[in-house]
Structure 1
Amino acid sequence: LIHVETLDNLVVSYIQTRGTVPLFWEQPGLNVGSHKVKMSREPSISSSAFTQHTRFLRQKYGRQVIINLLGTGVTGKSQGEAALSHLFQLAHHSCPWSSQSPHIVFDFHQECRGGNIDNLAKKLQPQIQDEINQFGFFWQKNGVVQRLIMIILAYNCLDCLDRTNRVQTFLGLERLGAAIAVMGSDAEGGVAKHRFQSKFEEMWKDNGNKISLIYAGTGALQGSKLIDGARSVGRTIQNNLLDNNKQEAIYTLLHGNLLNNYLAALSRSLLPQHLLYAPIAVLKATCDRSPEFSEIIPLKVSVGTYNVNGGKHFRSLAYKHLSLDDWLLDSKKNDIANSLVHTSDDPEDDRPPDIFAIGFEEIVDLNASNIVANTQWSENANSWGHELQKVISRDEEFVMVTWAQLVGVALFVFVNARHAQSVRHVNVRTVKTGMQGNTGNKGGVGIRLVVRNTSIAFLCSHFAAGQKEVNERNQDYNSIARKMIFNMGMPLWAHDYVFWCGDFNYRISQPRDEVISLVQRQEWGLLLEHDQLMVSQKENKCFKGFLEGNIQFAPTYKYDLFSDDYDTSEKARVPAWTDRVLFWRRRYEWDKAANWSSGSIVHYGSAPLKQSDHRPVLAIINVEGRVVRQDKMEEVYRSVVSSLGPSDCTVVVQCTSGSCGQELSDEVLEAVQEAMDDVGSLVTVRFVGTKILLTFDSSLHALQAVKHSPLKIAGYELSIELKTERWREQLEEEVALCTDSTTPLTNENITDPSQQHDPHLNGAIQQRKVFLKADSV
């Protein structure tokens, strides 16, 4: 912004925006010398957020030209950037406004190698010259607008620091020259123009340093090998070792600090972003009344677990008639076909699942190299993920939310395509339990997400092995349950539902021959009396409060490969139900109905896949989801605000008749305090001149105290008023500060023509579904 009072009160300005790639991605592990990029959500899940982001920019700034500065090399350091850039281009192409927003790909490091900034003029500028000519700038003379900005240049990069600084400075100087031209001959003179440009470059350099300090902990890179080398080392240390507190500060700014993690989890599931900054008492009271503004919707969740013994085979060559379909899609149907009686006629039982969570153990060999490397991505897991999506999409389309791996444990979460745009707050965590928590050969992987307005955590674990190591397995469970803390300190038990699957390795405490005899007679009840998991659960040593389906299938471990025979090796392991699926539901204060339940188990069984020494297990569970009606939620929120009173919980007591000019005696003060003690507990009593400020432990007590006004004591008449009488308006003003307050630079009305009604929301709007295919990356 340039404001020159001496030149006809001239005001000239232009706008450039900058930001990282608006998809869900992260840089895991140590990042030294190269940029590791992992997509934390699949493109189908990211598309809704991408569309909302581009709609916001379009509404605020009008038409834009996107300048993509990411690397494009498919090998070497920029390989991760190239994949991200490709997905960025796909997402932009699928956006409703892509045809009006050119997407220019300019690999800065490749095109300006060796600090050759002159290539910006030779290679980048010709690609966007037409847009630059339309770009324009704001020009006002003597209070009269002469020109408006027509197009905004938007820059996207990985960290949006050094590359962005240089390109924005270059194009900013180009616009500065055009702006100086409209100022007339006085400004175009050599000295004035040089001073403008010199000051401009200095400001951009300072701006780049300040942004870099906030984001990376050092100043911006400037082309000097000595300075840039020192700053690069500083960034590496800062970003990899000292970044936790900075991230927590960012979370606090974005989401508020509710202190109570359980209330935070519920509030973030139910309430819009800006209301999270309301007082804790308001949030708690609003959430407690959530049944008034939310509706129950059915959710069917299928959870499977399979120890694949390091296997890469999706099906057995010797048993070609058996496939993953028999485990994931047809397990219930096959059980019914093999059963003489079918007792369920509920049509809801035959509805396709809404969510699939599929866990694997030993998805890679548990050898020393994989354990030491702490493998978090493998070709095995990646291949299984693609195959799973193909299989479960046989009848209805499913999209992958995300997947995670800890050495041999991997967990994949998919949602039915109709829920793809309603998935939020996805987060991944891993916990090691091998060698006292130091290695990942044993441990757990967790994925949490919010579907509609229901928070769910999925876990897959591999516990300690061995026939007698029951205590070690119980310790593994407790360690994972305690340490599985997601972003912003979100504990496991703060979710509405927890689904936990895996190879828990609990055995049957009976001799092998007796166990095999009971298995052959299908005496499941007698065997389960000695099942270590059930015994430990009854003793509250593990899985307290969890439910499991009725086990009516043979033990899933340990088989000879490609056989139905239990272990015939020298070790002759005792058959056991090592592979299990359990679930837990959080019960809130308002869930007092007699018919409340954790959920109903539609199916629990195993499948006869023979390419591993384990048999896979699948549980299908019907649960209650929640969807918020925004109009009703706002009504409840306003009602709560009106009923709770001011957050400072303070009233002012002062004399209105009697000897008001004199200080009140100690007897009068004691009488006032005794009268207020009957209203509620006093936290502090303060004296300001002739006024008494009483602070209660609750805002409701402050409202009740006002009802006792006037208070007549020893010939005095004392009024009682709220210290903050405009508390409703004040709260609205504070919350409004947390909403988007940016003044739009355009009057364009942006609508997405593909929006449609979702029957599950009773008329609420469902965002446009965009499915991106990125198999070529």
Structure 2
Amino acid sequence: MTTSVSVIADLCIFLLTWNVGTHSPKNLELTSLLALNGTTSCPDNRLPDIYVIGMQEVNQAINVFKDDPWVLKLADALQPHEYVKIKSEQLQGILITMFAHHKHVPHMKNIETDETRTGLGGLWGNKGAVSIRLSLYGTGTVFVCSHLAAHDDKLKDRIEDYHQIVDNHKYRLPGYRHIFDHDFVFWMGDLNFRLSGETSAWDIRNSVENRQYEELLKLDQLLLLRQTGNAFSLLEEMLPTFAPTFKFKEGTNEYDLKRRPAWCDRILHRVQVNSYPSITLSANQLSYQSNMDYTLSDHKPVSATFNYKIETNNGTFTDEELHEMTHGGSGTIPNVSVHGLVALMAFHGIFISFFRFF
């Protein structure tokens, strides 16, 4: 007797990380950056179902009545395509925000955010992490954006930052108190890992110009750490096939050789594949790339797309039943912005535009 397999969710998730160097978006065109121009890596070249954008060194000017200008700029680009803002969280210059196509909003529950400061021994938020966790089609999913300690000689500090974030990030929902309790973990940011050894900035640039990425990546601190188990070993990363994303002269694609070029900007993920009877979870990575067209800061933006899929051998399984299994019937943590957006979808688009400011 053959077992029928049905799909509870089959989503394309677009992740983006960018250190914007305190610059505002102003008149920046985001169409290419967000793959809204027909260049998406999603199946059948469709637009992503969900966008999660992480930024570092966002200008810290505070306006309690509005979202950050970057969030507003992203919303302006995505709203015409029927995306709504789900949640944002900011810790000084570290920002994470999530947008989803409105049809997915009813399948998002238990939304929480958290932050961890790692600067100045945990007192200052210039370094650290922010995150958004939720039940997404019944599974526990978390997105983390971090900015770790800078400079070549601060490897130990970056390792310590990572462990502080893992240890101190806590959520209210039973069963999902910590980052790695989740079924899906996506971690991105300016992780600031450099190349080990004493290779000069000029020699690294020459290797990049000859596209000798594989040789350079043998010196990459993040890959070496994951192999030794000192940090990020629970996560996977597709090997970068793009040039180091730091450090560029602003406004150009020319490296600033005051610093050794490095792959500072990264996206990793983890899936607990077979956590539940008759349920299979997967997050097949479809792309991993930088965008050289954007020269606003000394970093290049890095994006990745994932095919997030939940399949079941029980043809009658719904995501509501999966939520009951995974979250143990815990009460939904209310989230005003999502519930408000669901209601507003019934009204004219101008109301949605107004509501996203709150």
State how far apart, in whole Å, the 2-side matches of 1:456 and 1:550 are.
23
- 1:580 maps to 266
Is residue 287–residue 304 contact of structure 2 (8 Å, CA) maintained in 1? yes
Question: How well do the aligned residues superpose, as a CA RMSD in angstroms?
Answer: 3.5
Superposed displacement of residue 465, structure 1? 0.3
State how far apart, in whole Å, the 2-side matches of 1:351 and 1:630 are.
24
The verdict on how the C-alpha distance between 1:511 and 1:467 changes in structure 2, with shifts beyond 3 A counting, is: same
Structure 1 segments, 4+ long, off by >3 Å, are: 291-296, 377-381, 587-593, 625-634, 766-772
State how far apart, in whole Å, the 1-side matches of 2:44 and 2:262 are.
29
Q: Which has the higher strand share?
A: 2
- 1:485 maps to 170
The one-letter code matched in structure 1 to 2:301 is P
Superposed displacement of residue 390, structure 1? 2.2
TM-score by length of 1: 0.39
- 1:308 maps to 20
State how far apart, in whole Å, the 2-side matches of 1:463 and 1:362 are.
12
- 2:242 maps to 553
After superposition, what is the alpha-carbon deviation per residue over 1:680-704, rounded to whole angstroms, capped at 9, x for unaligned? xxxxxxxxxxxxxxxxxxxxxxxxx
Which of 517, 520, 531 is matched with 2:220 structurally?
531
Is residue 453–residue 626 contact of structure 1 (8 Å, CA) maintained in 2? no
- 1:607 maps to 291
Which of 314, 328, 352 is matched with 2:34 structurally?
328
Please say if 1:472 is aligned against 2:161. Answer: no
Spell out the pairing of 1:352-751 with structure 2 (5 A cutoff). 352-364=47-59, 382-394=68-80, 396-488=81-173, 490-509=177-196, 510-568=199-257, 572-590=258-276, 598-608=282-292, 609-625=294-310, 629=317
The verdict on how the C-alpha distance between 1:403 and 1:768 changes in structure 2, with shifts beyond 3 A counting, is: closer
Superposed displacement of residue 333, structure 1? 2.8
Spell out the pairing of 1:151-166 with structure 2 (5 A cutoff). none
The verdict on how the C-alpha distance between 1:591 and 1:621 changes in structure 2, with shifts beyond 3 A counting, is: farther
Secondary structure of the structure 2 residue equivalent to 1:326: coil
- 1:770 maps to 346
State how far apart, in whole Å, the 2-side matches of 1:769 and 1:538 are.
47
The one-letter code matched in structure 2 to 1:531 is D
Superposed displacement of residue 351, structure 1? 2.5
Q: Which has the higher helix share?
A: 1
Spell out the pairing of 1:1-150 with structure 2 (5 A cutoff). none
Is residue 421–residue 769 contact of structure 1 (8 Å, CA) maintained in 2? no
Secondary structure of the structure 1 residue equivalent to 2:262: coil
Superposed displacement of residue 770, structure 1? 3.4
Secondary structure of the structure 2 residue equivalent to 1:547: coil
The verdict on how the C-alpha distance between 1:406 and 1:292 changes in structure 2, with shifts beyond 3 A counting, is: farther
Give the number of equivalent residue pairs: 329
Secondary structure of the structure 2 residue equivalent to 1:298: strand
Superposed displacement of residue 454, structure 1? 2.2
After superposition, what is the alpha-carbon deviation per residue over 1:510-556, rounded to whole angstroms, capped at 9, x for unaligned? 32121101110011101100111111111111112312223111111
- 1:700 maps to none
Spell out the pairing of 1:227-238 with structure 2 (5 A cutoff). none
The verdict on how the C-alpha distance between 1:511 and 1:330 changes in structure 2, with shifts beyond 3 A counting, is: farther
Q: Which runs of 5+ in 1 are unaligned?
A: 1-290, 317-322, 335-343, 638-734, 740-765
Q: Which runs of 5+ in 2 are unaligned?
A: 332-341
Is residue 536–residue 542 contact of structure 1 (8 Å, CA) maintained in 2? yes
State how far apart, in whole Å, the 1-side matches of 2:255 and 2:228 are.
30
Q: Give the number of the structure whose alpha-carbon radius of gyration is greater.
A: 1
Relative contact order higher in (CA < 8 Å, ≥ 6 apart):
2
- 1:192 maps to none
Secondary structure of the structure 1 residue equivalent to 2:259: coil
Is residue 381–residue 410 contact of structure 1 (8 Å, CA) maintained in 2? no
State how far apart, in whole Å, the 2-side matches of 1:435 and 1:526 are.
35
State how far apart, in whole Å, the 2-side matches of 1:633 and 1:296 are.
10
| Overall identity of the aligned pairs, in % | 28
Is residue 556–residue 615 contact of structure 1 (8 Å, CA) maintained in 2? yes
State how far apart, in whole Å, the 1-side matches of 2:126 and 2:319 are.
49
The one-letter code matched in structure 2 to 1:390 is D
Secondary structure of the structure 2 residue equivalent to 1:387: helix
TM-score by length of 2: 0.81
